[in-house]
Amino acid sequence: MDIISIDRERCTLCGLCVSVCVRRILDLGDDAANVTDPAQCILCGHCKAICPEDAPRLPSLNDREFSSVPAKEEIPHPDRLMAFFRSRRSTRIYQKRAVDREKVLRILEAGRFAPSGGNRQPLQYVVLQSEEHVVTVRQMAMSALGEMARKIQEAMREKGARGEALSLADMSLEAYADMWLGMPELLRQGTDRLFYFAPAVIVCHGDPLSKTVEVDAGLAGMQMALMAEALGLGTCFCHFLVFAIQESGALRQALQIPEERKAVLSFMLGHPDMTYPRLVARNPVIAKWL
């Protein structure tokens, strides 16, 4: 089966597909566009999306997903869109109720349609939705973070013994170590400083051979967080869990993340148990105009 082909009966030689092809593997022939090197196609779909006659054929992609672009009046006004961006907050207080599976699937779909370097789409997900799994992973992650904390503290002691001054990065690591070591006791007292008792956790892992995997995860993560907001849910990104997965093979195994994959992003998910009446403030933009 061809990766890409052109329906020669539909093609009108308008040339639009040639102009948007990232890999430059399309040119105009005598009666239709030609695919000069199908193996180089990255399945970005630009050619099919731009073609007024729907001539490009991409058999591995779902034809139904090439639906019509929304009308201009259906696109959010920039002011409303900015207000929506600013209304998203990191949620650390959740209601004690599960998140519907259908809503989680919509959130994952938002991540699926995020851009990725070279359209490699290197990301996969693990969804913790049962209380049993969330509790188990929380316990394993806190244990792994405790091991990391002890290693950090030992390294800091060795630096001090050598008379080396601690850098700002060292002091940040020390602060993390203290926080991680205190998490189990806080949990016994009823405070969860890792997952904040969120009913669901999503972990994103990617192919480390993709050089843009961290950026890809960030783009997908933000689209998922915004979809969650639109669904009336709250999120909070949790890189401590990523640290723990990198530290603990047992935790990686519990999450069924293959050895050859890299955990790059995670976030909690649930119904917020609070409402913010005002938008957030941030530092002014710093930009250099050239």
Does this chain's domain 5-65 share its CATH topology with 78-130+194-270?
no
Instruction: Give the pLDDT score at 280.
Output: 87
Residue 1 has pLDDT above 80, yes or no: no
d(CA 271, CA 29): 56
Q: What does the pLDDT read at residue 167? A: 85
Count of alpha carbons within 13 angstroms of residue 216, beta-carbon side: 25
Using alpha carbons only, what angle is made at residue 32 by residues 30 and 35, rounded to the nearest 5 degrees? 110
Q: Helix, strand or coil for residue 170?
A: helix
pLDDT tens digits, 95-119: 999 999 999 999 999 999 999 999 9
Per-residue confidence band for 121, with pLDDT thresholds at 50, 70 and 90 = very high
pLDDT of residue 192: 98
Architecture of the CATH domain 5-65 = 2-Layer Sandwich (3.30)
Domain chopping of the chain, boundaries: 5-65, 78-130+194-270, 131-188
- Determine phi and psi for 46, rounding to 5 degrees: -60, -40
- 186 CB-near residues (< 8 Å, 6+ apart): 192, 193
pLDDT category, 246, cuts 50, 70, 90? very high
pTM: 0.93
How much is the average pLDDT of 65-94? 95
Structure tokens at 282: 């941030």
**Alpha carbon separation from 233 to 97, 191, 203, 270 (Å, rounded):** 11, 21, 17, 6
Burial degree of 287 (CB within 10 A; 0-12, 13-18, 19+)? exposed
In this structure, CATH architecture of domain 78-130+194-270: 3-Layer(aba) Sandwich (3.40)
Q: Which residues pair with 265 in a beta bridge?
A: 204
From the CA atom positions of the chain, what is the Rg in Å?
A: 24
pLDDT digits (tens, 9 = 90+) for 151-204: 999 998 898 889 888 888 888 888 999 999 999 999 999 999 999 999 999 999
Q: Which residues pair with 34 in a beta bridge?
A: 27
